[in-house]
Structure 1
Amino acid sequence: MDHRSSGGQRVLAIVERGYRGTLDKQFFDELYLATELHRQLGGLDILLRGSAVTYALDAPPPPALRIGARTVDTVTDPRAGLRSLLAAGVGVWVEEPALAALGSPRRPLPGIRLAQEGEVAAHWKDYRAVFFL
């Protein structure tokens, strides 16, 4: 498993819970935080597990949300966040069993790597730090 590009200097961020609500996350979410952590810590890998594996699916942007007469069109798009992270050199892993459990016909976004359950955990010792977002 080749997941580190700087000899153990990278950190691993684990995201287990996906989508916690539109309005409270429209300006800042864990993937935006990951962008800053990658920049400030000198390298980041992300592991998506649990319901957060839905972020990895290649899907269209979420539609605007209609609440009464108001339309909210600043809905968070985790796929856009992942694309930005991948472009910045962040390694993104998704646990394949959780992805398969969804039963979705959609494939993961290009650049996202599949891992078996526990595969990335076996390499935690190789990271400078491991934390949950």
Structure 2
Amino acid sequence: MTVAPQPTTGRRLLVVERAYRGSVETQFADVLYLARELNRQQDGLDILLRGLAVTFATADDDAPARSLRIGRIDLDTLPDPRASLRTLLAEGAGVWAEEADLTGLGTAPDRLLPGVRRARPDSRPDWSAYQGVHFL
């Protein structure tokens, strides 16, 4: 049985299950924005994406996030989850995407962003090794 690398002391695990991209009122403060701030302020963290949130980790040929049209106005300032994950990875966060959810959505193994690991039954983060586990 292969076990995922263990976090260093002080790291936290964030579990994200909902693929909520943000709204007009909170354009800058989506769940991954919060994760970036926690990563910066608290000795690092790892993220486990489950449910529809695994779609944040899928490569989409670097297509930019789509804008939202409201009447005659194009709102193009909504968060881009893929860009946020790339930044988190660059800043040292570990990111896993639940394999069962990826498979259920028909995501091929080669469609994940570079650096995102598939969370398999034998290679998930060990929750007991973290200082805290938080569901966002």
Q: Indicate whether the TM-score tops 0.5.
A: yes
Q: Where does residue 92 of structure 2 map in the other structure?
A: 89
> Relative to 1, partners in 2 of residues 1:51 and 1:24: Cα closer, same or farther, differing over 3 Å?
farther
Structure 1 distance, partners of 2:26, 2:64, is: 15
1:112 maps to what in 2?
Answer: 116
SS at match of 2:118: strand
- Mapped to 1, the partners of 2:111 and 2:134 lie a distance apart of 27
- Describe the shift of the 1:104–1:94 C-alpha distance in structure 2 as closer, same or farther (beyond 3 A): closer
Q: In structure 2, what is the Cα distance between the partners aligned to 1:11 and 1:78?
A: 20
For normalisation by structure 1, the TM-score amounts to 0.88
- Higher mean alpha-carbon deviation, 48-57 vs 15-24, is at 15-24
What is the match of residue 5 of structure 2? 3
Q: Which moved more, 1:68-77 or 1:79-88?
A: 68-77
- Give 2:16's aligned residue: 15
Q: Equivalent of 1:73, from 71, 76, 79?
A: 76
The two structures, once aligned, show a CA RMSD in angstroms of 1.9
TM-score, with structure 2 as normaliser: 0.86
**More helix per residue:** 1
Q: 2:31: which partner in 1?
A: 30
Unaligned runs of 5+ in 2: none
Aligned match of 2:104: 101
The one-letter amino acid paired with 2:4 is D
Indicate conservation of the 8 Å contact 1:95/1:117, yes or no. no
- How many residue pairs match? The answer is 131
Percent identity, please.
51
Bigger relative contact order (CA 8 A; separation at least 6)? 2
Kept in 2, the 8 Å contact 1:97–1:117? The answer is no
Of stretches 78-87 and 18-27 in structure 1, the one that deviates more from structure 2 is: 18-27
1:21-60 Cα distance to aligned partner (Å, 9 max, x none): 4424411111111111111110100000001000000112
